[in-house]
Amino acid sequence: MRALRILLIVVVILGGLFVIADRVAVNFAEDEVADKLRSTENLPSKPDVSINGFPFLTQVAGGELDEVEVGIDDYEATTANGGEKVRIDDLSAHMTGVKFSGDYSSATAADATGTATVSYDELMKATRSESTDVAPGVTAKVVGLSDGGNGKIKVTVRATVLGVEYPEPVEVLSSVKVKDNDVEVVADGLPQIGGKQLAESRIRAITDFQQTIDELPGGIDLDKVEAAKDGVEITVKGSNVKLAG
C-alpha cells in the first residue's frame, strides 16, 4: 500500500510538471506566432493569439494544432482605389487544422472563419463625395453614412439646385451585401430633390457604390456583411489560410 501511495504521488507530481511545461510551451508559441504575424502583415501592434486544445505538446509532436484564435485590433487592407487603405477594426479569426513546417517558419490553417467591422467613416472613402451633376442645374454629393436600422445603411446626400444649397439633406436607405468580394451598397428607393424625381442612372451614380477590400490577412475572403451601429460588420472565411510563411 505504501508503495502504491508513493507511486500515486509521483504520478500526480509528474502530471503537474507536465501541465506546467505544456502551458509554458503554449504561451511561448503564442508569443512567437504573434510576433511572426505582426511582421508578416505589417501590423502596428502585436495581435492576440490563443492556441486551444490540451495537451499542446502532443499537438506539436503531431505537426498540427486543433484550433488557433487570432485577434487584430486595427488592420489596414488595400482597396481598388489606387491602392488606398481602408482600416478594419476588431478582426477576430478562428482557425482549425493548423499545420506547420518542421522549422516552424510557416503555418497554414485548413479552415478559417471570423468577423470584423469597417466604420462608416472608412466606408465613406468609396462614395462620390465630390459634387456631381445629376440633372440640369442640380448637383449632389454624399456627405455621410450611418446606421439606418434593420440592417440598412442611411446614405445622406447634400444637393445644390441652381447654385443654391438645398436646405435639407436627402436621406436614402440602402441595402448592403457582398458581391465579388466587394462591399456593395445599393439604394432601396430613389430620392427626390426639389420635388423632382431624377434620372435613375444619374442619382444611383451618387447613392450606390462599392468598396473593394483586398489583401485580408492570410488570404481570407469576405463572406457576409450587415449594417450595424458603428459601421458594417463583415464575416470572413477561407481555406488553406496562411498564418505565417
What is the per-residue burial (b if ≥16 Cβ within 10 Å, else e) of 8-22?
eeeeeeeeeeeeeeb
DSSP string, 145-181: EEEEETTEEEEEEEEEETTEE-SS-EEEEEEEEEETT
Report phi then psi at 116, rounded to 5: -165, 175
Q: How far apart are the first and last CA of the chain?
A: 55
- Asked if 81 and 49 touch (Cβ cutoff 8 Å), the reply is no
- Separation of alpha carbons 83 and 63, rounded Å: 37
Q: List the grid coordinates of 151.
A: 440592417
**pLDDT for 115:** 92
Least confident span in 63-67, 79-83, 90-94, 164-168: 79-83
* 90-131: pLDDT as tens digits: 889 898 998 877 666 677 889 999 999 999 998 888 887 778
Other Cβ atoms closer than 10 A to 103 = 7
**pLDDT for 174:** 93
* 168-187: pLDDT as tens digits: 888 889 999 998 878 899 99
Q: What is the DSSP letter of 12?
A: H
Name the 3-class secondary structure at 5: helix
Q: List the grid coordinates of 115.
A: 468577423
* 196-245: pLDDT as tens digits: 666 777 888 888 888 887 777 777 888 899 999 989 999 989 888 877 65
Length of the chain: 245
